[in-house]
Chains A and B, each alone.
Chain A
Amino acid sequence: MPMYYFNLNDDDVVVDTDGTDLPNVGAARIHATGVARELTSKGGGILTQSWSGWTMSVRDEHGTELFSLTMSDFGDGPEQ
């Protein structure tokens, strides 16, 4: 199975050093959505307080960006 990498970008980059084995780009999209929900749910904690300007850039094993998500589209309520 191909590896996919889920990096976060704001001014800075938080690199997904490990990557995840997934069958195809559709599965990568589902995984990305799940990770975005987990990170934004009930506050961004150590990552950010607002998510404004943050994106998740999903890349293949060659480093080519396949798609990106706007992190502020996720989350479920007021920040901590």
Chain B
Amino acid sequence: MLFHHCASEELRRTVLVDLAGQAHRQNRLLAAMPPNTLALLEPDLREVSPEQGAVLLEPGDLIETIYFPLTGLISLMVIGKDGNFIETSTVGREGAVGLHSGLSRRRSFTRATAQIGGKFSTIRAARFEHIVNGSAAIRDVILRYTEVLWAETQQIAACNAMHGASARLCRWLLQSADRIGSNEVPLTQEFLAQMLGARRTTVTLLAQRMQAKGLIRYRRGRIVILDRKGLEACACECYHVMHDEKLPRALGVNL
């Protein structure tokens, strides 16, 4: 009986550890790490669920925590002198925020906000740096991800300069849906307007038209993508260029 108890207890623990590992692997970067490398991080990974709108980092903040979204979405934003801001990147389950602080202590360049609340795996930066020091595999993931993010940032800079609000809104909805793994994007028009650097009326009119064409359904604070192909046809090419599977391949990066 005692034996059975121990065996089942051991089994239970193994299952729990596996389940925890499975949960962390919803994040592409954690999934990209070899199992024995992920095992090094696992004891220090904590799951948190920040609320929608929670500010995780302000520009200049010392990065104390690294965030690996499992669900939800983090926005990186550059803040203007007048307090206005524009989104420069989004990070969902394909990425992480603060990852480069694994190389050494770093400060945030942008504001990072939990734009869509969800579950994030986190690790303290000091602990992460210590583990990275002994792991070439994690350093490699950091470098590969930094390359992809660098390319994406260049594309977004070009997109903001080259493409109109309509094409960028379509691109943004598709990319966000991919990164949260759901066709339901819980965001207000007010927020979308800030992201696009446009007035809310502009987003309302575009969303009305998109709804009339059957591409989306929207109510206050929630947009549902109904016709993905139709939306892709209205998005700028940046959606495909920055696609989370295509961009690493285009760069020859294995992620």
Taking Cβ atoms with an 8 Å cutoff, the residues of A that contact B are 6, 8, 12, 14-18, 20, 31, 34-35, 38-47, 80
Tell me the bound Cα distance from A14 to B208 in angstroms: 7
| Dominant SS among interface residues on chain B | helix
Among the stretches B75-83, B177-185, B209-217, the one at the interface with A is B209-217
Q: Cβ of A17 and Cβ of B208 under 8 Å apart?
A: yes
Residues of B within 8 A of A39 (CB): 164-166, 202, 205-206
Q: B255: CB under 8 A from chain A?
A: no
Tell me the bound Cα distance from A80 to B205 in angstroms: 19
Q: B12: CB under 8 A from chain A?
A: no
Q: B201: CB under 8 A from chain A?
A: yes
Residues from 167 to 195 in B contacting A, C-beta threshold 8 Å: 167, 170, 189
Given contacts A42-B163, A47-B209, contact A18 B204 (CB under 8 A): yes
* Residue in contact with B166 in the complex, picked from A6, A12, A43, CB distance below 8 Å: A43
Given contacts A18-B201, A46-B170, contact A41 B164 (CB under 8 A): yes
Q: Cβ of A80 and Cβ of B201 under 8 Å apart?
A: no
Residues of A within 8 A of B215 (CB): 46
Residue of B nearest to A40 (CB): B164
Task: With a 10 A CB-CB cut-off, give which of A18, A44, A46 has the most chain B CB atoms.
Answer: A46
Quote the shortest CB–CB distance from A38 to chain B (angstroms).
4
Q: Cβ of B164 and Cβ of A80 under 8 Å apart?
A: yes
